[in-house]
Chains A and B, each alone.
Chain A
Amino acid sequence: MYLIFCHKSVILNKLIKMSLFIRNYKPGVAYNAQILWRFNSTTAETVKQGEDEEEFRVLDILHKKGKLQKRVNRRADIQPDRSEKMPTDQNWGNVWPGPRSFHPSSVPLPIRQGYVPKGQAPPGKKANAELMKIPNFLHLTPPVVKSQCEALKKFCTSWPKLLNSEEAIEKNYPMEIISSDYCHASPTIRNPLARIVTLRVKLSNLKLDSRARDKFLRLVGDKYDEKTDLVTLTADRCPVRKQNMDYVNYLLTACYHESWTVEDWETDKCLEDMEYYDFDLNPSKKNLVNWYLMSNNEDNNLNDEQVKNFDVSKIPNGVEYKSAVSELFNEGESDLALNKYDTSVRKLLGLPEKKIAN
């Protein structure tokens, strides 16, 4: 009877232990007997009979012990990385077809990234946040870019062969339209700066005579740059680029045709209104011509128009005199201008050269 009881208690003990084990079992966690000892307080009576365990074979009808061993040993089989199974001649564009944040098991590269104290190796690619933060270009490898460009090539056209130099472009297409596009990450895809349109054209490419040119320059004001001979018209007053483009074209057209119109009051301009010294209009030329004709004993009855059209280059040293006088008036008095005037007058009148006083 006792024996039977004893047997029963041992079996019971085993069963309790097993049920506890099954309750506490988690895959991957090694079974540890120490975990159990706290539950032994509930079965304190049977622990003392632990020595007796060896004496009695346990009847294991259902082969639970073997099964359990098996279950402990069986672990979820972790697949090796995809990157380790990749063939070396694969098409990388198929593995990584689009932009994506870094994934360590898809990239067969021994990448390391991160800051570490001196003498240590940076962390590897697995579970490395540094590699996931930075945008990668794994979808834009050179062969992929090349094949994509090959596919895009049918939408492209070649530049005309005859426009092979800056001069040729400048000659045939003198007008420049400058505008900007913006691409950025922001809540809106619109950028108000994209509306601005600039038109640039060389003044020498517009057909203007001297009067119209003068008027055009007065109309455009500081939009003309003397150094480069460029007229730059910028429009940003309308909300849309198309409107600004039309406005810029309108400005050019209006200024151009306005510069060609001659108002009635423009003929009233006299010598005092001139903003620069024109030798041909001034009495200085009349005096020069009169002096020249008198000294050659020719008739001296030229009217104003004839004097105005008289060619100064007929007079020996006349051109030099003209430039010296114009410079003196236009650029103001300076030692250089005065000396130039001095020498030109001496040459004109056939006077001896100035002696430099020591």
Chain B
Amino acid sequence: MNAIRGLWRSAPLVRNVILNKSTLTRPFATATITPIKPIEDVPSAIELDKLYKRVELEMRGIDPAVLLSYSWFCIAAASHLGIEVTKSWALRKAEKERHTLLRCVHIYKKHRVQYEIRTYFRFIHLQRLTGSTCDTFLEYIERNLPEGCALKVTKVECQKIPDHITPPQE
């Protein structure tokens, strides 16, 4: 990249030719407008794929059977795409959100009625995905998420320590 940039700096002639060419081809009608300086195209650095050390899927839903089928589907898709599945489990009991109300609206405080909302959970842990694999897989399983289910994906990306985290030079 530096070599290209060096060439760019050291060859004004070439650059002039390129720049002039763009101004010459400009149609006459726009010639009165001050010519826009063409942006020097900086060759973008090669974008490296991200590395995900671990991806944790948390599914929650109102029906344990649907969640089970969905986790089967996720694991099958992961195995077809060559993703390692480390763990897959479910909570033994559902999380219950309870509301206790008076059975009668205004009176009889002794007599209550209880309503509850049950939420079932399932977890799948995957490990060692590249960014493109992760995106593909997640897009696929999120599109096939059944009704009444929610999915939380926690991604642990591993990165190099940035270059500026070095002891200062005195």
Give chain A's interface residues, CB within 8 Å of chain B: 99, 134-135, 137, 140, 142, 145-146, 148-150, 152-153, 155-160, 163, 169, 172-185, 201, 205-209, 212, 249, 252-253, 256-257, 260
The smallest C-beta distance from B162 to any residue of chain A, in angstroms, reads 7
Contacting pair A148 B66 (CB below 8 A):
no
- A140 and B167 contact, Cβ closer than 8 Å, known pairs A157-B133, A173-B158, A176-B158: no
The smallest C-beta distance from B26 to any residue of chain A, in angstroms, reads 37
Contacting pair A152 B136 (CB below 8 A):
yes
- A153 and B81 contact, Cβ closer than 8 Å, known pairs A137-B69, A260-B167: yes
Residues of B within 8 A of A137 (CB): 69-70, 73, 146
The smallest C-beta distance from B158 to any residue of chain A, in angstroms, reads 4
B contact face: mostly helix, strand, loop, or mixed: mixed
A contact face: mostly helix, strand, loop, or mixed: mixed
Query: How many Å lie between the Cα of A169 and that of B52 in the bound state?
Result: 10
Residues of B within 8 A of A179 (CB): 154-155, 157
Q: Does B150 contact A (CB under 8 A)?
A: yes
| Chain A to chain B contacts (Cβ below 8 Å), 12 pairs | A99-B144, A146-B76, A149-B77, A152-B136, A156-B82, A173-B159, A176-B53, A176-B158, A206-B161, A208-B167, A256-B165, A257-B168
Q: Does B125 contact A (CB under 8 A)?
A: no
Contacting pair A175 B128 (CB below 8 A):
no
Contacting pair A135 B147 (CB below 8 A):
yes
The smallest C-beta distance from B141 to any residue of chain A, in angstroms, reads 9
- A180 and B152 contact, Cβ closer than 8 Å, known pairs A137-B73, A145-B76, A156-B81: yes
A-B pairs with the 9 shortest C-beta distances?
Answer: A149-B80, A184-B150, A173-B158, A135-B146, A156-B133, A181-B153, A183-B151, A155-B136, A177-B157
Query: How many Å lie between the Cα of A356 and that of B110 in the bound state?
Result: 70
Contacting pair B150 A134 (CB below 8 A):
no
From B130, B150, B159, B167, contact of A182 by CB (8 A): B150
| Chain B interface bracket (under 10, 10 to 19, 20 to 34, 35 or more) | 35 or more
Known: A155-B133, A156-B132. 20 other contacts (CB 8 A): A135-B66, A140-B144, A145-B77, A146-B80, A149-B140, A150-B80, A153-B82, A155-B132, A156-B82, A156-B137, A157-B130, A169-B53, A176-B53, A177-B157, A178-B156, A180-B153, A181-B155, A208-B167, A252-B165, A260-B168
